[in-house]
Each structure stands twice: as structure tokens, then as C-alpha cells.
Structure 1
Amino acid sequence: MSNTPPVSAVSDLVRHKSELRRQLRQARQALSPQYRRQAAQRVAKLARPYLKSGRRIALYQAYGSEISLQPLLMLARQQRCRVFLPVVPKRGRRLSFTEWQPQQSRYRNRFGIVELRGVALAAKKMHTIFMPLLGFDLQGYRLGQGGGFYDATLAFRRHHQHLQQPRLVGVAFACQQVAAVPTEAWDLPLDAVLTERGRRVFSSLRSRLRDNA
């Protein structure tokens, strides 16, 4: 018997995700500029445990209504971390990461997001990856934009669940929490999530996945 879900179930899942993304974008866009600035500062403070000197830290350039990581970038630099930003490939979906420098040459990729010119490293070389998201739940699952870039980039973590690196840390506003993220076989849970209301670690979930592998 095939394990492939029926077409109707797949269609329902796609519609559910699409509607959930629409609702979460609206909730995020409704936040005031002042609230957004304060939330970004709060998230940076909560990220301190990950900011050890010499660590390779992957951040992202906020796009649209995503929470800004600019305060986190500056704090990571103060802590002598090496900061990297994602690079979208011309083909495929596997991201790489280029190190941030103050006077570095920059350009906009096909999505209009700022990227850096320079030598790119694979995700496996990062100690921590701070990831954007549209929604998350208390099981550690993340709802992204739907492009599948982080899923493709981090697939090795699902196939090698004993790995502790890179840590996967979602960053969001608290209003992006949902009761349950619709999941599929390739979805990889986060190790932690940061919002303006606190830090939640999902290490127990990671252990359960290893036990069931």
C-alpha cells in the first residue's frame, strides 16, 4: 500500500497553509513601528547565550514585515562572533552563507533581498542559524514563506539527527505563534524560538526525534 496521501488531502493542506500565511502576515503587519523596534531589541538580548566569541552565526536580512535582526547583528559583532547572511542560489534551493563586513559590496537577489558578495560557506559550517518564519507552534515546528529554501538547505539535519550543529533558532513576533503548524514529512523542528516575550527551547523534541529515527 502506498504511503502517498490522496490528492484531496494534499490540496486541503496547501489551502490551510495558504490561509494561515495570509492571517499571520496580517497580524505581523498590524504591529506598530515602535513595538517592532522594541521587539527587535528584546530578541537581541535573548539571543546572548548563542553569541560566543568566534562562533559562526547566520542571520537574515528582514524582508517585508519580518522582525529586524539589526540589533542582534550589532550585538553579535560586539561579542566577536562571525556573522553570515544567506545567499540564494541561481538554481536550486540550497542556501549558502557569506560573512558580513561593514564595507562589503552588496546587491539584491531575484526576490529583492540584500545579499553580500564574497566567499560562501555551507550551512553545515554555521554554529547557529537564526531563521525567519511566518508561524511557529509549541512543538517547535516552523511555517515559512513556502519557498522551501531552508527545508532544502537543512535536510542534512533530518538525515543525521545526532548532529548538534548548526542550532536552528526561529525568530518571530509573539503574535506569530499558532496552535499547530501543518507539517509534512520533510519538515524539521527548530531547536528554539525567540520572540519579544521570551525564549523557548525544544531540546526534548529533538531527543524524541532521535529516539524514533
Structure 2
Amino acid sequence: MKKIKLLLVEDEVILAGVVKETLEMNGFHISHAINGVQGWEHYLSFRPDVCIIDIMMPRKDGISLVKDIRAVDEQTPIIFLTAKSETTDVINGLQTGADDYMKKPFSLEELILRIKTLLKRSLPAATGNRNTTGVYLLGNYTFDHNRQELRHEKELIRLSLREADLLKMLAAKPNMITHRKNILLEIWGDDNFFNGRNMDVYISKLRKYLQHDDSVQLVNVRGLGYKLVY
């Protein structure tokens, strides 16, 4: 069976060693870089299936690295590692295109679980295992969940994995409320405060993507959740 290729970009040598050894014991093929410059070089040569990237690093920080990756690759799942606790740092990181984040210190078991959850969604699409059941007509938009694409005559939007999953969850229940807690548990795995703020960022991004058709509205139902009206 082909091993999953994982790019680990982390400048803390001891932490990186523990993470690398643990993931290798769980069947991953690891490429480790110690800063953002080296991380970009490894990304280009290694072509990983998933990336774990620290935010604060010398020479080039993780946010800048993810911006470079997302300029050429919208699909590969990315998890941020951060020692910062401020909500704004997490949100800024996610706005660059990361799919998830973990605050240090973290559980290696939880890290592996989150990696596997993201890979379950990303690998079928990457290997061509697609079908028409993931296609939705949203007003003048065509949303293909498997391809992670939102098409309009004015533009083609390539969605991140989490953006596509969130839009699919809403599109599957047109004009009906999808509760916040259900979204958080289904897509983020936890309905804590930080994940809630994370979800709000993604909702704002989806609204921006859908701005070309006034008949499509992503409505906030106060105290309950969201519904996609189209």
C-alpha cells in the first residue's frame, strides 16, 4: 500500500523529531523542513498529500509559506501548528487557506486523527474517484464538491477542502437551517469557541464567493445556524 506523503515544516527540533517518529510509526512518509524557505523547496520536490506547518518560523513564516502553496495548489490539506492563543492569529492563518489548526502543546493522537479526517475527504478527489452526486446547481452557480470548484460565468473559484465540505453541507439542505453545532461537530470535530470563530471566517468567505448572484443567499439564523437559500 502506498504511504501517505506528509510535509512537516517545524523549526523546534525536539518537537519535530517526536512528531516525525510518531507519524512514521503510523505509516506516513515524512519530509521535514526547518523553516519556510526550506519548506517551499520540499513542497515542490516532495509533492505531499498533506502538510503540517508551524506559523512562527525563521526566514519565512508559515502563513507566507501557505500563501505560496495555495497560489499553486488549492486542494492539499494543510494543518497549522501555533503556540499563540490569540483568536486573531488563528483566524489570520486560516484566511490564508489552511484547513485546520492545532495549538501547542497538542496530543499526537489527536493530530493523527485530524490528519486522517482531512485525508478521507481529500484523497478520493485527488485520485479521480468522483461522481455526479457531488454536483449542485446554486442559482447561476455550479458547485462540484468532488472537484472543489464553484463555477459562475464570471469566474471559477477553486475551494479549499473545508470550504467545499461546508458548502456541501449547506447545499444539501436548501432553504433549511443547518445548526451551528452540527456543522462544527461534522466538519471541525468539536464545537468549541475557537472552532466557532473559525467557521464564521469560512461563512464570510462563502458569502463573498456567492456575491455574483443575488438569488443565492447564505443566511444567518440568529442563535441557531445558517441556511443556504437559492
Query: Which TM-score bucket, shorter chain as reference?
Result: 0.3 to 0.5
The TM-score, its normalising length taken from structure 1, stands at 0.40
The higher-RCO structure (CA 8 Å, 6+ apart) is: 1
The TM-score, its normalising length taken from structure 2, stands at 0.38
